[in-house]
Amino acid sequence: MQIIVSDDLYLSPFTDEDIPGLLDCLNRPEIIDNLLTLPFPYTRNNAELFLSHNAELFDKYGLHLNYAIRLMKNHALIGSIGLQLYNEMHRKHRAKVGYYLLPQFQGKGIMTRCLNTFTLWALHTFKPARISATIFIHNIASEKVALKCGYILEATLLKYYKKNGQYIDTKLYTIYNE
């Protein structure tokens, strides 16, 4: 399944052929320093586990939750956007979104377009009451993207994460299903 973002960009599920691209993206400090839960270095085994996790999610929900961001012209992987669903009383009540882009594609408005499209798709498809992004306090670019896509600042969570021995204050941005 594909989600068309614009004339030059689309989202589609990850495949085995994306393993080199995943290793390229997720071994870059500029990207992983802003993400929480990824191992570093990110190995081929990590990428294979990610692909099998995606397959399990597909079996559970009948749809993919994690998508590669690709260029329309050559299908190259340039980043990723994905959703985590949280079940409460067997209902998909809450969701969390995460995203990243290769450095050479940043600052061109690409993630704003991707998050906009993906958020509308996710709200419509899974009908969660809310989708949140937890954004490290120093990540101004991500905060701007969330704001431009209609997410609002719900809270600033002090010492919310601990990464490499350091506490990181985090902003909670949320969009609600009307």
Q: Is 158 in the site for ligand COA (CB under 6 A)?
A: no
Half-sphere exposure of 114 (CA within 13 A, CB side): 30
Least separation in angstroms between CB 98 and ligand COA = 6
Q: Are 97 and 81 in contact (CB under 8 A)?
A: yes
Q: What is the SS3 assignment for 11?
A: strand
**CA torsion, ordered 42, 48, 53, 54, to nearest 10 deg:** 100
Site string for ligand COA, 100-139 (x = CB under 6 A): xx----xxxxxxx--------------------x-x---x
Place of tokens 């691209």: 21
Toward ligand COA, which CB reaches closer, 10 or 60? 10
Q: Which residues are within 8 A (CB) of 134 and not within 5 positions of it... i.e. 6 or more apart?
A: 36, 96, 157, 160, 161, 170, 171, 172, 173
Toward ligand COA, which CB reaches closer, 30 or 48? 30
Q: Which of residues 5-34 bind ligand COA (CB under 6 A)?
A: 31, 34
Where does this chain touch ligand COA (CB under 6 A) — which range of 38-46, 56-64, 140-148, 158-166? 140-148
Least separation in angstroms between CB 33 and ligand COA = 8
Q: Which of residues 42-101 bind ligand COA (CB under 6 A)?
A: 99-101
